[in-house]
């Protein structure tokens, strides 16, 4: 049976964007993220984080540090009644990567590699799935992968992105949209 996913960019959607976040003490959750995730779960969405981690490519922190932070974040979310199905990340960067991390990769958004992994690994139907991001690369990945809807949290990008998406000022707008979809089905 296929299912739908709510794909969440991490920095700027789950946690406040501070630039290359890698320390637990620097995490501030974005207002509304717990409620959005709980509602999405109730509506049958699987929660999947899809995050570019150029900070690993650049050598600012390593994959172990990323995984430690994410284990903490996953536990913290669980305390709020939120269960992540998967955390996909891309540690590569085509220009700024060091050593083996300097390369193009289909996982790096706007590439669709991380979204497509959810088909095989989680049985997700992309056409029924939704993305929330704060960058044009998130919107481009969602559009290329044929997601049902993409949401851009305003504030990070200085100008409009290409493609199709809904710009929102807060996560509660995404939550309301999900609830409205559910009624209209």
How many Cα atoms within 13 Å fall on the side-chain side of residue 181? 17
Cβ of residue 177: shortest distance to Mg ion, in angstroms? 19
Contact residue for Mg ion among 5, 9, 33, 56 (CB under 5 A): 9
128 is catalytic: no
Give the separation between CA 29 and CA 17, rounded to whole angstroms.
10
Among the listed ranges 62-70, 94-102, 126-134, 159-167, the one in contact with Mg ion (CB under 5 A) is: 126-134
Cβ of residue 14: shortest distance to Mg ion, in angstroms? 9
| 157 contributes a contact to Mg ion by CB under 5 A | no
Residue 54 or 118: which CB sits closer to Mg ion? Answer: 54
Binding mask 12-51 for Mg ion (x = CB under 5 A): x---------------------------------------
Among the listed ranges 10-18, 87-95, 147-155, 171-179, the one in contact with Mg ion (CB under 5 A) is: 10-18
Among the listed ranges 1-9, 23-31, 80-88, 112-120, the one in contact with Mg ion (CB under 5 A) is: 1-9
Q: Identify whether the C-beta of residue 22 lies closer than 8 Å to the C-beta of residue 16.
A: no
User: Mind giving me the DSSP string for the chain?
Assistant: --BEEEEE-SBTTTB---SS---GGG--BPTTHHHHHHHHHHTTEEEEEEEE-HHHHTTSS-HHHHHHHHHHHHHHHHHTT--EEEEEEE--BTTT--GGGBS--TTSTTS-HHHHHHHHHH-B-GGG-EEEESSHHHHHHHHHTT-SEEEEETTS-SSPPSSS-EEESSHHHHHHHHHHHHHH-
Q: Total number of residues binding Mg ion (CB under 5 A)?
A: 4
Residue 9 or 175: which CB sits closer to Mg ion? Answer: 9
Cβ of residue 146: shortest distance to Mg ion, in angstroms? 21
Give catalytic residues, as residue numbers.
9, 11
Q: Which residues are near Mg ion by CB under 5 A?
A: 9, 11-12, 134
């Amino acid at each position: 049976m296929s299912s739908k996913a709510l794909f969440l960019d991490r920095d700027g959607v789950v946690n406040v964007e501070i630039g290359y976040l890698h320390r637990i003490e620097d995490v501030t959750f974005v207002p509304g993220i717990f409620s959005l995730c709980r509602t999405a779960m109730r509506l049958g969405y699987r929660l999947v984080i899809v995050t570019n981690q150029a900070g690993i490519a650049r050598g600012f922190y390593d994959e172990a540090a990323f995984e430690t932070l994410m284990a903490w974040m996953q536990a913290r979310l669980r305390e709020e009644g939120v269960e992540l199905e998967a955390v996909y990340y891309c540690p590569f960067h085509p220009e700024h990567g060091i050593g083996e991390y300097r390369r193009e990769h289909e996982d790096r958004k706007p590439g669709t590699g991380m979204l497509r992994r959810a088909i095989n690994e989680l049985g997700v139907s992309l056409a029924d799935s939704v993305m929330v991001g704060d960058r044009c690369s998130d919107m481009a990945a969602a559009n290329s992968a044929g997601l049902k809807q993409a949401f851009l949290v305003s504030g990070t990008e200085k100008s409009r992105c290409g493609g199709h998406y809904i710009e929102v000022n807060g996560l509660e707008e995404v939550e309301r949209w999900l609830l409205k979809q559910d009624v209209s089905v």
